[in-house]
Structure 1
Amino acid sequence: MNTQTIMTLIDQYGYLAIIFLIMLENVFPPIPSEVILTFTGFLTLTSHLTVWGAILASTLGSILGAILLYGIGRLVSVERLSQFVGTRMGRLLRLKQSDIERASTFFNRRGSIAIFYGRFVPVVRSLISIPAGMAEYPFWSFVVLSILGAAIWNTVLIYAGALAGNHWKTVLGWFEDASSIILIVVIILIVLVSVLYYLKKQRKN
């Protein structure tokens, strides 16, 4: 979905379009929330939309998308992954039951941090809901943390778009650059942690 389509939908359908687009952005990460939210902020200056109404609509869209992915994670479940361990593909990937149990335990201990802060990271804000469901992270805790994280992210971008006015595209560029840097840093950290974990496991063996 291109930027012009996003802008047209919000301009024509207001809050309903915001809810739908943000929900879709949570399920399909390539759809940029930065465009949706900064343009929405700008529209609060020129249309019937209000800043608080836009924040509520975007946060509702965020949580609907998050719950959908959480449900997908519950369908996959740790039990189904455990069954996958014994398959040929599981053996090829060197997947072990102990690894699955360790990952599930880690998420239930540290998942609150990942769920909350993950809402500020591109792609991660969508994907984090799936392991939360797989690990059977408490549903209402997941919802509350997701709402808090999403509301902060949405508020910042909508207010930025409103304050920038006609220069909202300039602000959008700043956010897109910052989001790209954050995503790169997160990927590097994940790779480093994975390598360290692998080396530690090799030493034990």
Structure 2
Amino acid sequence: MSIEDLGTAPTDGLAGWALDLMDRLGGIGAGLAIALENVFPPLPSEVILPLAGFAASLGSFTLFGALFWTTLGSIVGALGLYSLGRWVGEARIRRAVDRLPLVEVDDLDRTTEWFRRHGRKAVFFGRMVPIFRSLISIPAGVTRMPIWQFAAFTTAGSLVWNSIFVIAGYQLGENWYRVEPYAETLQYIVIAVVAVAVLWAVVRRMRSRMQA
């Protein structure tokens, strides 16, 4: 029986497409859906991941398979955008910015320097923020962040985020869609943690300069 025929959860639109993909391809379908979500941010992982957990609860694949394939999909999608950023390169970005009105190359330099200092944290926590999880891969490529380092922090951040929603969908079963309203709150918590960490780093640097 198709997993679309089971349960009372909404299966139209994006949910129906994702369920059909997982029904046809199993765990690979879940990974493909998440890889596409990384490249096309309007596809929400907050829907796809609980659906993967729901599909696992129906026996379409195992819970471990859901976590493995969705995390692999996150890595593949992120590496695609990382490669794009690396191909474009900093020199091309600088030339493009130099032609833009009201934008200074110095602003780009400051942003690039910030990423070189905090890139690992940005990549890790960025996996937990919509849109940003896709965009962060590009400056990582532009600044030529070591690919092993990018892959490691992408894997760690993705595994944390994916596990929360896949396991929730697995536990909730037919009620997987009840996870989505909590996603926004969780994202705000992540943003707040990052903001506090950045503020603390700035304060420490200012104190050390004053004491020097």
How does the TM-score come out when normalised to structure 2? 0.78
Shift of 1:5: 1.1
Q: CA deviation at 1:145?
A: 0.2
Task: Report what 2:182 is aligned to.
Answer: 174
Does structure 2 conserve the Cα–Cα contact (< 8 Å) formed by 1:121 and 1:182? no
Alignment match of 2:169 (pick from 158, 161, 166): 161
1:127 to 2:139 alignment: no
The correspondence for 2:145, drawn from 102, 119, 137, is 137
Please give the alpha-carbon distance, in whole angstroms, between the structure 1 residues aligned to 2:133 and 2:93. Answer: 23
Taking the aligned partners of 2:182 and 2:132, their CA distance within structure 1 comes to 19
Residue matched to 1:198: none
Work out the number of aligned pairs and report it: 182
Alignment of 1:95-106 (within 5 A): 95-96=104-105, 98-106=106-114
Residue aligning to 1:71: 83
Q: Could you say which residue in structure 1 is the equivalent of 2:9? A: none
Task: Please tell me the residue identity of whatever aligns with 1:94.
Answer: V
Distance 1:9 1:86 in 2: 44
Q: What is the Cα deviation at residue 76 of structure 1?
A: 1.9
How far off its partner does 1:58 sit?
A: 0.5
Residues 34 and 74 of structure 2 are in contact (CA less than 8 Å); yes or no, is this contact kept in structure 1?
yes
1:169, distance to aligned residue in structure 2 (A): 1.6
* Aligned-residue CA RMSD (Å): 2.1
Check conservation: 1:122, 1:179, Cα contact below 8 A.
no
Identity %: 38
List per-residue Cα deviations over 1:148-169 (Å, max 9, x = no partner): 0001111111110111122212
CA distance in 2, matches of 1:179, 1:43: 23
Q: Give 2:27's aligned residue.
A: 15
In 1, the alpha carbon distance for the partners of 2:135 and 2:95 equals 22
| C-alpha distance in structure 2 between counterparts of 1:81 and 1:112, whole Å | 21
Deviation at 1:94, TM superposition (A): 3.0
SS at match of 2:57: coil
Question: Structure 1 residue 78: deviation in Å?
Answer: 1.2
> How big is the shift at 1:4?
1.3
Quick one: structure 1 residues 46 and 137, their matched pair in 2 at CA, closer, same or farther if it must change by over 3 Å? same
CA separation of 1:62/1:83 partners in 2, compared to 1, >3 Å: closer, same or farther? same
Matches within 5 A, 1:46-57: 46-57=58-69
Query: 1:55-112 deviations in whole A, cap 9, x for unaligned?
Result: 110011000000000011112221112222443xx2x13322x332222221111111
2:4 paired with 1:4: no
Answer yes or no: is 1:43 the counterpart of 2:89.
no
Contact 1:42 1:166 in 2 (8 A): yes
| Structure 2: 5+ residue stretches without partners | 1-12, 200-212
